[in-house]
Amino acid sequence: MAHLRAPATRRERQREATYDEIVAVSARLLEEGADLSLRAVAARMGMTAPALYRYVNSYQQLVDLVAFELDKAATATWAEAASRFSEDDPAARLTVACARFRQWALARPREFALVFANPIAEADTERRELLTLATSGHYFTDLMWQIWELYQFPYPALEELDPVIREAVLDPLIPAKSDHIPTEDRGLLWIYMRAWSALYGVVTLESTGHCDPRVIESGQLFRATILDWLEPLGLRHERARLTAILDEELARP
Amino acid sequence: MAHLRAPATRRERQREATYDEIVAVSARLLEEGADLSLRAVAARMGMTAPALYRYVNSYQQLVDLVAFELDKAATATWAEAASRFSEDDPAARLTVACARFRQWALARPREFALVFANPIAEADTERRELLTLATSGHYFTDLMWQIWELYQFPYPALEELDPVIREAVLDPLIPAKSDHIPTEDRGLLWIYMRAWSALYGVVTLESTGHCDPRVIESGQLFRATILDWLEPLGLRHERARLTAILDEELARP
DNA sequence: TTAGTTTCGTGAACACCATTAACGGTAAAC
DNA sequence: GTTTACCGTTAATGGTGTTCACGAAACTAA
């Protein structure tokens, strides 16, 4: 939430700094395995709990704030890892990013649950808006767009789509960097939704532990899911190369 | 957890009854949108909270107990709905069951999260064992086994599988009715895991709301995921019929 | 510089929560 | 009929989010 614009007055600067400290302290608490609570955050900042209400309206809002920043920070690490491949190799970048995403979800299940398994009621428009801004979503859609530009994989025409879906891809409520995608190419977003659903599925299953631990450890379920998506993304000819990259990532300590 | 064996003494009968009341009251609380808490459950039973410690060791254990029974009860409703198709039509039954599973997850997101998104640590062997007993898992694997008996879809041989996966399908830690599946056919369980991962993915995505509400409402993401799995399950020739059944279920109020 | 206003923190209080300990009554077991 | 085990109680500890009234400090304006 920090640095939306240049800090004007001194007070505003201080306020921004406090916001930053709140999410930093929260992240540290989670990292240490402690529960995220207003009291704990406040205590560690040398304040009392009610003081935090000058910055957030409720505990849930604190959670949302922290979730947003965690997502941002985590995405930065995947992006950094992926950037060992050149900008004109988005397929390799996506492969790495997906693997790192999973790795993060397995290493920090609590944080993952906070960001990606946090229930969002249909009616809650405010939290929905925050969700739409999710950095990870933008990063992944952007990579997929770049892959399409390079490999021109097939996607459904707008007329083929269910009317509701058509509406949804033309005016997306999901985190998607879609402004620069021409209207007639918006069928791409349908592919994106489906791919995201598949990725989200395995990773959530593994991160929450609703799965045989040996299967998680082996990474085979994740691997198979990713490989299944190479074809629809027009990456058939890249299969061998990307599989090697994927296996290399999975072998990481 | 009730009625594992015939109630012997009067005291044991009473104890069983109390257990039943605990989960019944818990289920009602969740149904009413209230939070599940020891105090609330106890109060509604005309007891004080500490008394519940004669029946459960901790709050988490209460949650697990309730989760297990919720899973059992929910599975019974899917099975009941699916039983409108004959026993020798497992493909239709699975179609209905999947749709009802999703419907339940959307109608009762809190219950769904309790049962299927409840984080289970790797080390926690006790909760893991309870998970292995999950009724829904057994129901789904059994349906898939019946489908295989009928349609003989291809599945990987044990030698093709990753060694770790081979171990996992030979001695499953997941909820799977696998005793009657011959050793050489255990590759089937790999198909099951992959299918379950896909189903779990969409349903969790929709149930937690991390998705465009319009897309959820339309059911298209779920529909597409299910249809993608007809082919691997040898149901190509049943496609039209099963699609009709699926659409009928999705159109339900 | 002084007076007024906004902002940001405090402490006390309320209503919850899980959990533990010591204690009593009642029902089964011997 | 005595003993034992079970099942509930009350009291207390330390945790949670949240509200309210208050005060001090900082910025604003005459």
Q: Which domain holds residue B6?
A: 1-55
Which distant-in-sequence residues (6+ apart) come within 8 Å of A222 by Cβ?
A99, A102, A202, A203, A206, A250
Angstrom distance (rounded) from CA B65 to CA B29: 14
Pick B200's closest partner by Cβ from A164, A205, A218: A205
Check whether residue A201 has its CB closer than 7 Å to nucleic acid strand D.
Answer: no
Please report whether residue A65 resides in a domain: no
B92, B86, B186, B102: which is closest to B136 by C-alpha?
A: B102
- The alpha-carbon gap from A64 to the nearest alpha carbon of chain B, in Å, equals 13
Quick check: pTM over 0.85? yes
- Between residue 51 and residue 110 of chain A, the positions with Cβ below 7 Å from nucleic chain D are 53, 58-60
Residue B116 CA, distance from chain mean position: 8
- Find the range with the poorest average confidence among A113-117, A175-179, B159-163, B221-225: A175-179
Angstrom distance (rounded) from CA A205 to CA A199: 10
B92, B195, B169, B176: which is closest to B131 by C-alpha?
A: B176
Structure confidence by residue, pLDDT tens digits, B141-192: 999 999 999 999 999 999 999 999 999 999 998 888 888 899 999 999 999 9
Q: Which two tokens stand for residue A187?
A: 């069928």
Structure confidence by residue, pLDDT tens digits, B24-34: 999 999 999 99
Residues B195 and B78 occupy one common structural domain: yes
Res A1 pLDDT > 50: no
> pLDDT band at B239, cuts 50/70/90?
very high
How buried is residue A33: exposed, middle or buried, by Cβ count under 10 Å (0-12/13-18/19+)? exposed
Contact B211, A192 (CB under 8 A): no
**Boundary-marking domain end, from B55, B86, B101:** B55
- Residue B216's pLDDT is 97
Res A7 pLDDT > 60: no
Q: Which two tokens stand for residue B140?
A: 């789904």
Res B115 pLDDT > 90: yes
Please report whether residue A209 resides in a domain: yes
Residues B102 and B181 occupy one common structural domain: yes
Q: Which of the nucleotides in strand C have any atom less than 7 Å away from a protein CB atom?
A: 7-12, 16-22, 27-29
Residues A82 and A173 occupy one common structural domain: yes
Neighbours of A98 (CB within 10 A): 24
- Residue A70's pLDDT is 97
Residues B88 and B186 occupy one common structural domain: yes
Average pLDDT over residues B96-110: 98
Cα three-residue angle B5-B6-B7, rounded to 5 degrees: 110
Average pLDDT over residues B242-252: 97
Res B208 pLDDT > 70: yes
Please report whether residue A67 resides in a domain: no
Percent of chain B with pLDDT over 90: 86
- Supply the mean pLDDT for chain B: 94
> pLDDT band at A3, cuts 50/70/90?
very low
Structure confidence by residue, pLDDT tens digits, A189-217: 999 999 999 999 999 999 999 999 999 99
**Based on the structure, what is the number of domains in chain A?**
2
Residues B189 and B88 occupy one common structural domain: yes
Residues B48 and B123 occupy one common structural domain: no
Please report whether residue A104 resides in a domain: yes
Angstrom distance (rounded) from CA B203 to CA A102: 19
Assign residue A58 a region: left if phi > 0, alpha if psi is -120 to 50, beta otherwise?
A: beta
- Supply the mean pLDDT for chain A: 94
Check whether residue A18 has its CB closer than 7 Å to nucleic acid strand C.
Answer: yes
Residues B42 and B73 occupy one common structural domain: no
- Residue A6's pLDDT is 52
DSSP element (H, E) containing B139: helix B135-151
Cα three-residue angle B3-B97-B31, rounded to 5 degrees: 60
Identify the DSSP state of B150: H
Angstrom distance (rounded) from CA B243 to CA B245: 5
Residues A49 and A83 occupy one common structural domain: no
Q: Which residues of B touch A224 (CB under 8 A)?
A: 194
- Residue A221's pLDDT is 98
Check whether residue B46 has its CB closer than 7 Å to nucleic acid strand D.
Answer: yes
A106 touches chain B (CB under 8 A): no
CB pairs under 8 A between A and B: 130
- Residue B89's pLDDT is 98
Residues B78 and B29 occupy one common structural domain: no
Res A11 pLDDT > 90: no
Average pLDDT over residues B228-233: 98
Residues A79 and A197 occupy one common structural domain: yes
Three-state DSSP string of chain A? CCCCCCCCCHHHHHHHHHHHHHHHHHHHHHHCCCCCCHHHHHHHCCCCHHHHHHCCCCHHHHHHHHHHHHHHHHHHHHHHHHCCCCCCCHHHHHHHHHHHHHHHHHHCHHHHHHHHCCCCCCCCHHHHHHHHCCHHHHHHHHHHHHHHHHHCCCCCCHHHCCHHHHHHHHCCCCCCCCCCCCHHHCHHHHHHHHHHHHHHHHHHHHHHCCCCHHHHHHCHHHHHHHHHCCCCCCCHHHHHHHHHHHHHHHCCC
Please report whether residue A227 resides in a domain: yes
Please report whether residue A159 resides in a domain: yes
Residues A222 and A108 occupy one common structural domain: yes
Average pLDDT over residues A175-183: 87
Res A24 pLDDT > 70: yes
A130, A253, A131, A129: which is closest to A196 by C-alpha?
A: A131
Residues B229 and B144 occupy one common structural domain: yes
